[in-house]
Amino acid sequence: MFDWISWNVVLAVIAAFVKAFVVVNALLVAFAYMTLTERKVMGRMQVRYGPNRVGPFGLLQPIADGIKLAFKEDVTPSQANIWVHTIAPIMALVPALIIFAVIPIGPSLLIADQPWTWYIANINVSYLYVTAVASLGVYGLVLAGWASNNKYSLLGGLRASAQMISYELAQAAAALTVVILAGSINLYEIVEQQNRSLIPYALYLPVGLVAFAVYLIAGVAETNRAPFDLPEAEGELGAGFHTEYSGFKWSMFFMAEYVNMVNVSAIAIVLFLGGWWPAVPYLGETVAGIVGPIFFLLKLALFMFFFIWLRSTLPRLRFDRLMGLGWKVLFPVALVNLMVTAVIVALWPTGVWPFI
């Protein structure tokens, strides 16, 4: 009766469910401990200790914070649009969580003749999926700003929409450079290409490096992190779009911000830093299949440190300057870079790289 069901498909579906469960929980735990790491690292940079009261070295602080936020009163302003006000944080968080489905964190390998993959889904247009889902996240911010019926929130929401849409263009143009170099829009294939050619795309001079720089700056702006934290700019707008949020709804915005940091870093690693490079070319297939994710996570940790470092060092940009930087500097640079790459790839299609 069900002979059209192959057991391999059933296994794959179950594996995908398990992996999705693990990834979502891992992201949320990563978020919790990112907050602790950020407070600790910033504390050290600012000649203070950071949280160290709850548990050994303050390790239980995120759990205490989580419990506090979950039990906090959830206030909705009287004039707010209650439905939009409730849906907005969900719309911010869900896209952030589902982006990770297509990110490969290690090379595929065979375990007991069964294929094992370090991603949840491998769709052939996975980068397109990433951009599509990432741009959904901005709705959460805009709607939060609008639904709160607060002028500061409104200004924050407007800033968020303008900023994220502008910087997505530069980001996508930078990523397209890599897509042209790799000849594929599949993230797993892009990483494979880098490992095959033994160097990550960030070291393809000059186009790869320029694209990497543009992607990184635009990525920081995408995640609304300092120095581009204008939508929440606490010195100017109170707390920007989430001024009127409290309790768990507020913490969903918070989660979305940190999970987005993880996403942007993970995609930067996949596109420019060769994913699990240098595990594959130098350690052999099987070993790389197991230690590859460790290389990936180490790079991720470096990116997170970079984000924290930026935040504790730099002042905030002004809004018009931010838009100027996005439209007048980053976007043109990324476009020219893209065209140069296209010309180079057209002239030397065999992959003989002239600049290295």
Partner 1 sequence: MVMLSETRTESGTMILNMGPQHPSTHGVLRLLLELEGEVVVNCVPDIGFLHTGIEKTMEARNYHQAIVLTDRTDYLSPISNNLSYVLACEKLFNIEHDVPRRAQVIRVILCELSRIASHLIWLGTHALDLGATTVFMYCWREREQILSIFEFISGVRMMTSYMRIGGLAADVPEGFEERVAGFVRSLPPRINDYEALLTRNPIFLDRTRDIGYLSREDALKFGLAGPCLRASGVQFDVRVQFPYCGYEEYDFDVPYSNEGDVYARYMVRVREMRESVKIIRQGLEKLKGLKGEEYRIDNPKIAFPKREQIHRSMESLIHHFKLVSEGPVPQPGEAYGILESPRGEQGTYVFSDGSNKPHRVRFRPPGFYNLQALPQLVIGRMVADVVACIGSIDIVLGEIDR
Q: Which residues bind partner 1 (CB under 8 A)?
A: 42, 45-48, 151-152, 155, 226-227, 229-230, 233-238, 311-321
d(CA 224, CA 28): 19
User: In this structure, which amino acid lies at residue 356?
Assistant: I
Cβ of residue 43: shortest distance to partner 1, in angstroms? 9
The label of the residue with tokens 């204008």 reads 230
> Can you read off the two tokens belonging to residue 203?
């070291």
Q: How far is the CB of 192 from partner 1 (least distance, A)?
A: 39
H helix intervals, 183-284: 187-196, 207-222, 234-237, 247-272, 279-283
Least Cβ distance, residue 42 to partner 1 (angstroms): 7
CB closer to partner 1, 156 vs 200: 156
- Name the residue nearer to partner 1 (CB basis): 192 or 222: 222
Least CB distance to partner 1 at residue 318 (A): 5
Q: Angle at Cα 8 formed by Cα 7 and Cα 12, nearest 5°?
A: 115
CB of 324 to partner 1, least distance (A): 10
* Residue number with CB closer to partner 1 (77 or 227): 227
Q: Which amino acid is at 20?
A: A
Residue number with CB closer to partner 1 (318 or 328): 318
Rank residues 68 and 321 by Cβ distance to partner 1 and give the closer one.
321
How many angstroms separate the CA atoms of 348 and 202, rounded?
19
CA dihedral defined by 205, 211, 215, 216, rounded to 10 degrees?
A: 20
